[in-house]
Amino acid sequence: MPKYDLAVIGAGWAGYNAAIKAKELGLKVCLIEKDRIGGTCLNYGCIPTKILIQSAKIFLQALKSKTFGVELENPRVNFGQIQQRKDKIISLLAQGMQSRLKGIDFIKTGAQIISPGRIKIESGEIQAKFILIASGSRPVELAGEIIDSDKIISSNEALSLTDLPESLLIVGGGFIGCEFAGLFSALGSQVTIAERMPLLLPGQDSQISRKIEVIFNKKGIKVSCGADISSFNLNNYSHILACLGRAPNISDLGLDSLGLKLENNRIAVDGYLKTSVDNIYAAGDCASKLMLAHYAAYQGALAVENIISDNSHKADNFIVPACVFTEPQISSVGMSEENAADAGIKIKVHKFDFRASAMAHVIDEAEGFIKIISNLETQEVVGACMIGPGACELIAVPTMAISARLNIKQLREMIFAHPTLSESLRETINN
């Protein structure tokens, strides 16, 4: 029976980074994955959606090329070729990840935890001093409906369609639903979003939520907020895409027999990512309220550090940027105006409109704004959100500022290159 210092279940961003960290720290480690290396992010989420979104962006730029004095005749979408490019890039990235696993036993199989030190796999059993569960998440299905590959589909199936949907109803206006709405609308589908909450992107800054709805309407995307799916005639759409969020993927791990504590259907962990069972830790979507790949990677590596250092590294970094790759992009980090009001913190909101940015006009993407929030008493930057060109890259600067507890004066002293989109951050705090 093979014996390891650490067995990691799940080769997504949490598990993969945990295994790499364990190897670096000298542990004998195995990485168990029943599906594909890279998990949801590489195969069914972050990466494939962004590949398709980039193709959609190129198509939109081609359609408005005359704006830049470039005349193109009849640009069209070859959806099959777009999908081939996606598959090629995913395969390339997967090979790169696989190459980094030298010194780690990669076991492609399902796994069931028998006891804190034993795992059942297809070929038998393995022993491990510690186990890290990083089994990820799965799409939430429509209540009362069964996801099928023909008409009612999840985000997983949406990424492998061979033909563009003629008409698409997206149930759920969170970041996944909004990204798919922008993507398929740009490529030529007639798109409708049904969101049960009053605004798109629940939890996001309300001004940004209203702004993206206005932009979607301009693009011909029909938005119905406060909507009940039962009021829609599903026969009016060629496809129905369920984007109702994701749920922890923990049903086949044998957790019931372990007596491992759950919390809101997630694996319950303490501040050090340790579960209620000795020597078992959990990280990423299966245990976290924040289902973000970069946060999962952070948790995976930190869990390993706690395993070797007897829980000396608390998982208390909640300064986590969130990005939505719509057109224009949306991003946020730290405290929102609503958060500050709820906490009774007095703030100052600094705002900048991209219509005042030279570079935004150069690239003809001047719609949107930046908001940076500072503590009125200490002047420290405590939050930021933005909608506009390059928002998902620009959010790195406020993230760093909040992490380093920089104040507005210190940010003003930074010199940003001109003409760039990033100088808009400095202009924001001058307002």
Q: Is residue 399 within a helix (H) or strand (E), and if so which, with residue range?
A: helix 396-403
Please answer whether residues 187 and 166 qualify as being in contact, where contact means their C-beta atoms are separated by less than 8 angstroms.
no
Separation CA 181–CA 194 (nearest Å): 11
Sign of the Cα pseudo-torsion (256, 260, 261, 262, in order):
negative
Known active-site residue 313: no
- For residue 115, count other CB atoms closer than 10 A to its CB: 15
The partner residues of 369 in beta bridges, in order of sequence, read: 353, 387
Separation CA 298–CA 321 (nearest Å): 13
Catalytic residue, chosen from 294, 313, 350, 418, is 418
| Torsion, CA 364, CA 365, CA 367, CA 370, rounded to 10 | -130
The DSSP string of 33-69 is ESS-TTHHHHHHSHHHHHHHHHHHHHHHHHHTGGGGT
Sign of the Cα pseudo-torsion (131, 137, 138, 141, in order):
positive
Is 381 strand, coil or helix? strand
Separation CA 313–CA 301 (nearest Å): 11
Separation CA 374–CA 335 (nearest Å): 9
Please answer whether residues 8 and 19 qualify as being in contact, where contact means their C-beta atoms are separated by less than 8 angstroms.
yes
Is 286 strand, coil or helix? helix
Q: Annotated active-site positions, please?
A: 418
